[in-house]
Amino acid sequence: MKKGTKIFFFTTGIIIFLVLVYSFGFDKILFYIDKTGYYFIPICGVWLVVYILNAYAWQLIIDNNSCSFSKLITVSISSFAINYITPFVSLGGEPYRVLAVKEDIGLNKAVSSTLLYNMLHILSHLFLWIISIVLILYFYNLDSASFILLLISFIVILLIMLIFFIAHKKGVFKWLITISDKKLLTGLHKLLLKNKEKLEIIDKEIIFLFNEKQSVFWLALFIEFVSRVIMSFEFYFILNSIDINISVLDAIAINAVSSLIQNILFFMPMGLGAREGSLYLIMESLGLTPMLGIYVSVINRIREFFWIFIGLLLIQITGKRKYTINEIMDVNND
C-alpha cells in the first residue's frame, strides 16, 4: 500500500481505538482481565483460530497462489479490526481487503473475492442461526411467545438464504439491477447501470464459483460455518472463568442469539448497547443470573480491543505497496 493510505487507516483506527478504550476505562479493562485470569488467553486464542479459518475460506475463493496465506491472515485480522470501529454499517474493512490484495491477484479478482467472501460470511451466519433455532426448539423449554418468535425467525432466515442463493446463481449485480428497476430504487438502478461493464466482469467470477466450482463454494462455506461454531467457545471460557459451568450447546445458543440481535442493529459501532441487552436476555432465558450478561459483554469487548489493536498494528507492518486516499475512493466507487 502507498504511505498515505496506510497512515489514513492506521491513524484513524488508532484514534477511534483510543477513544473507545478511554471511554470504556483503562482501569476497568485491567480489573476485568485480572478477574478473568488465565482464561483470557483462550478467550483471545479462540479468535486466532477463527481468523485463520476465515483466511483459509477466502484463499479457497481466490484460488490463486500469488497471494500468500500469511498475508491473507494478516489482512483478515486488520479488515475485521477496521470493521469493528467503523460506525453505522461496519464495512470499512472491505476496501482495505481489496487494496491489500489487488496487486497480487488483480482488481477484478480482489473485488469479486471480497464480495463473495462477505456473502459466504453472511450465509454462515444464517446457517448458524437456522441450526441454532432448531437446537433451541428441541432442547430448551420455551414459552409460547418465544416459540412463535423463533419459528417466525426461522422462516424469515430461510427466505433470506433463498435470495442469497438466487443472487449467487444468476449473478449478484445482474440480480440487483433487475430488482432495483423500481420507482423507489431509481438512484441505485442508475448507479448500477453506470458501472454495468465492470459489474458484469465481477458477476462472471461469482457465477463461475457458484455454478462451476460448487465443491469449493461449499467447502469455503463449511469452513466459515465451523468458524462461527468455534466463536461460541469464547462464551464458554468467559463463564467458566467465574465458575459458571455451561454446555457447548449453551455457548452456541448464546453466540447465535446475541449475534442475531447485533446484526439486526448493525448500524451501531461495535454493537453498542445491542450486545449488552442481548446477552442480558439470553442469560435470563438459560436460567442464569441476567447480570452475568453484563460481565460477559465486558470481557467480550475487551477481547475486541485486543484484536483491534493487533489488527491496526498489522496494517503498519504488512504490505509492500501503499495506496492513496484517491485509490480508496476509486475502490468504493467501483
pLDDT tens for each residue of 10-42 = 677 677 777 777 777 778 888 888 889 999 999
Higher pLDDT, residue 53 or 207: 53
Please give the DSSP secondary-structure letter assigned to residue 210: I
How high is the mean pLDDT of the chain? 81
pLDDT band at 85 (very low <50, low <70, confident <90, very high): confident
pLDDT given for residue 329 in this prediction: 44
> Which residue type is seen at 189?
H
How far apart are the C-alpha atoms of 179 and 176, rounded to whole Å? Answer: 5
**Separation of first and last alpha carbons in the chain:** 18
The amino acid sitting at 300 is: N
**134 has a pLDDT exceeding 80:** yes
With pLDDT > 90 as the criterion, what percentage of the chain qualifies? 25
> Residue 201's pLDDT is what?
76
User: Who wins on pLDDT, 90 or 305?
Assistant: 305
Cell of 289: 443470573
Cβ neighbours of residue 158 closer than 8 Å, sequence gap 6 or more = 130
Tell me what pLDDT residue 332 has: 46
For residue 236, pLDDT beyond 90:
yes
The secondary structure of the chain in percent helix, strand, coil, rounded to multiples of 5, reads: 85, 0, 15
State the Cα–Cα distance between residues 202 and 138, nearest whole angstrom: 42
Q: Which of 167-176, 205-214, 272-281, 303-312 has the lowest mean pLDDT?
A: 272-281
CA dihedral of residues 102, 106, 112, 117 (deg, nearest 10): -50
Mean pLDDT on 316-332: 50
* Band of residue 237 on the pLDDT scale cut at 50, 70, 90: very high
Reported pTM = 0.82
User: How many whole angstroms separate alpha carbon 163 and alpha carbon 97?
Assistant: 25
